[in-house]
Amino acid sequence: MSAHPARVAVVTGANKGIGREIVRQLAERGHTVYLGARDERRGREAAAALSVGGLDVRFLHLDVTDEDSVALAAKRLAEEAGVLHVLVNNAGVGGPMQLPSETPAEQVRTVYETNVFGVITVTNALLPLLRKAPSARIVNVSSAIGSLKSAAENNDQTGEHPPGEFPVTLLSYASSKTALNAVTLAYANELRGTGILVNAASPGFVATDINGHHGRLTTEQGARIPVLLATLPDDGPTATFLGEDGTPEGQVLDW
Ligand code: NDP
């Protein structure tokens, strides 16, 4: 095992968008960052582009829906780093805009494969390495539209949509993030007291491929809350859901 003085981080789905920017910001804070990507060429290109000015960014082949890929990635990390301080479960897919009554269950299942089951697969595979760190952070990149309170009130608590216009046409995506929030709380509760803090981030409405670049925030702004949660002090919170609102702490959202 090579000597690893820096904190070691893994960011999934990081060849572009918010994940790529989370990698950059964590590397700038001195982390050794493994840039997870399912496409080897695009992952390698992104890692090479970010490896400037002494930043330590390494491509990690990782398809979160492929158990073999996840196992291989975990094996490489165990051999190369031997420990993990930060896991950012960022990889995500959107879903088509359809009314719930017109959404085939198969479509929902496909979105859950990445946004929910992928997070569980990766987290379970990397937990042994996270447990080896004196303190560690898991950040799940969720969305404010996954909030059950928002759904119950038909309101987006971030103010992204006008009151009463909560997007009912996003069954697969919104409910996948609701499930992810439940997953986040389950891990936070299991790991309470172990030094591993588990939190969810809503990055805000960020212009990326997932929304056809219609978001109003830059990826730099969208990465802010995930990075904040990835670099929490040891006495920082666990089981919180933070959304962007322009304050250093972020707005605590209702699950
Ligand atoms: P992008 O579409 O730009 O990025 C999504 C990333 O996830 C891509 O790198 C994509 O890889 C990767 N990915 C998808 N499926 C897999 C998989 N099976 N294995 C590994 N990687 C995968 O969107 P964003 O940057 O906006 O999204 C990042 C996260 O932020 C997502 O979880 C999203 O739900 C969340 N989010 C985004 C918001 C926004 O406004 N943009 C708002 C709220 C939450 P590939 O290039 O190969 O497809």
Q: Is 249 within a domain?
A: no
Q: Is 59 within a domain?
A: yes
CA of 91 to the centre of ligand 1 (A): 5
CA of 2 to the centre of ligand 1 (A): 31
Task: Tell me: ipTM over 0.90.
Answer: yes
Going by their DSSP bridges, the two strands 86-89 and 56-61 should be labelled as unpaired
Under a CB-based contact definition with an 8 Å cutoff, are residues 250 and 200 in contact? Answer: no
Q: Is 224 in the pocket of ligand 1 (CB under 6 A)?
A: no
DSSP class of residue 117? I
Q: Is 187 within a domain?
A: yes
Going by their DSSP bridges, the two strands 196-202 and 56-61 should be labelled as unpaired
The predicted model scores a pTM of: 0.96
Residues composing the chain: 255
Q: Is 253 in the pocket of ligand 1 (CB under 6 A)?
A: no
Nearest Cα residue to 196 out of 138, 149, 139 = 138
* pLDDT tens column, 54-93: 999 999 999 999 999 999 999 999 999 999 999 999 999 9
Q: Is 146 in the pocket of ligand 1 (CB under 6 A)?
A: no
Q: Is 1 within a domain?
A: no
Q: What whole-number distance in Å separates Cα of residue 166 and Cα of residue 93?
A: 19
SS3 assignment, position 220 = helix
Domain that holds residue 68: 8-242
Total of domains in the chain: 1
Count the neighbouring beta carbons within 10 Å of the beta carbon of residue 33: 31
**Type of residue found at 213:** H
Under a CB-based contact definition with an 8 Å cutoff, are residues 4 and 83 in contact? Answer: yes
Q: Is 250 within a domain?
A: no
173 assigned to active site = yes
* pLDDT tens column, 184-229: 999 999 999 999 999 999 999 999 999 899 888 999 999 999 999 9
For the chain, the first-to-last Cα distance in angstroms comes to 40
Q: Is 139 in the pocket of ligand 1 (CB under 6 A)?
A: no
Q: Is 38 within a domain?
A: yes
Query: CATH code at 238?
Result: 3.40.50.720
Q: Is 247 within a domain?
A: no
